[in-house]
């Protein structure tokens, strides 16, 4: 608890709690929009990889992404927390790539059968 928070009376503390929760809700909205934008880029990357005949899973690139994320973090999340978060983000991005690739492959098969 911050020094200022310790000095609050219960009524002001409740107001501060509400203010902070509202702020977190706004940050969460931005995070969700950014995660969805990231997923759209991952889908596009998957399409380009398909044209180039590349695998979806590229461990060296994933390591680079995690390293970069850890480098730009100024805290309070430490390197391990950033790593865990980005491992999950990357897993979901890879899932989006695979699902998009599978849908495109199915679509191509259906078009060739017509």
Give CA–CA dist 52/41, Å, rounded. Answer: 16
Task: Please tell me the predicted confidence (pLDDT) of residue 109.
Answer: 73
* pLDDT at residue 113, rounded to an integer: 77
**Which three-class secondary structure state does DSSP give residue 77?**
coil
**Complete domains list, the chain, with CATH:** 3-113 (1.20.59.10)
Question: Cβ distance 35 to 89 under 8 Å?
Answer: yes
Among candidate residues 68, 67, 50, 52, the one with its CA nearest the CA of residue 104: 50
Its pTM stands at: 0.79
CA dist., res. 47 & res. 97, Å (int): 8
Q: Note the pLDDT tens digit of each residue in 28-84.
A: 999 999 999 999 999 999 888 888 889 999 999 999 999 999 999 999 999 999 999
Q: What is the mean pLDDT of the chain?
A: 90
């Amino acid at each position: 608890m911050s020094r200022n928070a310790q000095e609050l009376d219960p009524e002001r503390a409740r107001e501060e709690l509400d203010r902070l929760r509202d702020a977190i809700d706004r940050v969460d909205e931005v995070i969700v929009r950014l995660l969805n934008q990231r997923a759209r880029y991952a889908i596009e990357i998957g399409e380009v990889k398909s044209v180039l005949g590349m695998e979806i899973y590229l461990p060296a690139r994933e390591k680079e992404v995690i390293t970069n994320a850890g480098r730009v973090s100024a805290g309070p999340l430490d390197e391990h927390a950033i790593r865990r978060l980005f491992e999950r983000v990357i897993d979901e991005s890879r899932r989006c790539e695979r699902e998009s690739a599978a849908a495109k492959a199915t679509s191509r098969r259906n078009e060739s059968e017509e």
